[in-house]
Amino acid sequence: MQQRDAALTTKKLLSVAESLFNEKGYYPVTLKEIGKKTGCSSALVAYYFGSKQALYQAVINQQLSRIHFLENETAATGLSPLKQFAFFLKRLLKIQIDPSGHLNLVYKELLTPSGLLDDSAWEQLLDMSHYLTELLERAVKEGELRPFQDEKERSYVSYILISITETLFLVKDQKLPLNPNNLPLEEVLDNLVQFVLSHFLTREEEA
C-alpha cells in the first residue's frame, strides 16, 4: 500500500509540477506551491525529488519518455521506413497539440536552454534526430529514396522536417498563409513532408 501511495503521489507531483513550470516558468515556481496544490508539504516534495531542479529534470524526462514511446509505436506499425517517418512526425505533432501530453517544456528547452538539464536529457533530445536520420537511411537502402549526396544533405533533410513539425506546433493558434483552407495541422504537415521528400523519391516511388 505504501509503494502504491508513493507511486500515486509521485505521479501527481509530476503532473502538477509540469503544469506550473509550463505556465510560469522554472524560477517563479516553488516547492511549497507544488506541495500545496497536491496536498503535500514542501518537505515531502523534497523527500521524493530532492530539489526543485531535480523535479524539473524528472518532468523533462517524463516528456522525453513520450517521444521514446512514440518511437516504439512507430516501429510496431510495420510500415515502410518512409511511411514510418511520416507517421512519427504526425503523431509527434498530435502529442504536442494535445494538452494532456504536451511537450512544451522540451521545446522551450530547445529554443531557450535553461542550463538546468543534465547531459542525459540533451542526449535524449538528440536521439530523436538520430532516430529520424536512421529512418531516412533505411528508406534509401530499401529503394524508397535516392541516395543522398552526402551526410550533410541527409542531415539537412531530417532537420528541415523536424523544424516544420516544431513550427506548426509553435504557431498552432495562428492562421497560416500556407493553410488558407484551415486544414487540420496534421494534414498540412503531411503535405509539407511529401513536398520536401518528393525531391528525393526514386522513380518507383514517384510512380
| Residue spans of alpha helices (H) in 50-118 | 52-75, 81-97, 104-111
8 A C-beta contact, residue 43 and residue 32: no
**Alpha-carbon distances of 36 from 9, 16, 26, 42, rounded to whole Å:** 13, 10, 17, 8
The confidence score (pLDDT) of residue 18 equals 92
pLDDT on residue 205: 54
> What's the pTM?
0.80
Q: In tens digits, what is the pLDDT along the chain, a chain of 207 residues?
A: 445 488 889 999 999 999 999 889 999 999 999 999 998 888 989 999 999 999 999 999 998 888 889 999 999 999 999 999 999 999 988 888 876 657 888 878 877 888 898 888 778 777 778 888 899 999 999 999 999 999 889 888 988 988 888 888 777 777 777 777 888 888 889 989 989 998 898 765 554
Please state the separation of Cα 10 from the chain's center in Å: 22
Closest CA to 35 of 8, 17, 56: 17
- The CA distance from 100 to 70, in Å, is 15
| pLDDT score recorded for residue 204 | 55
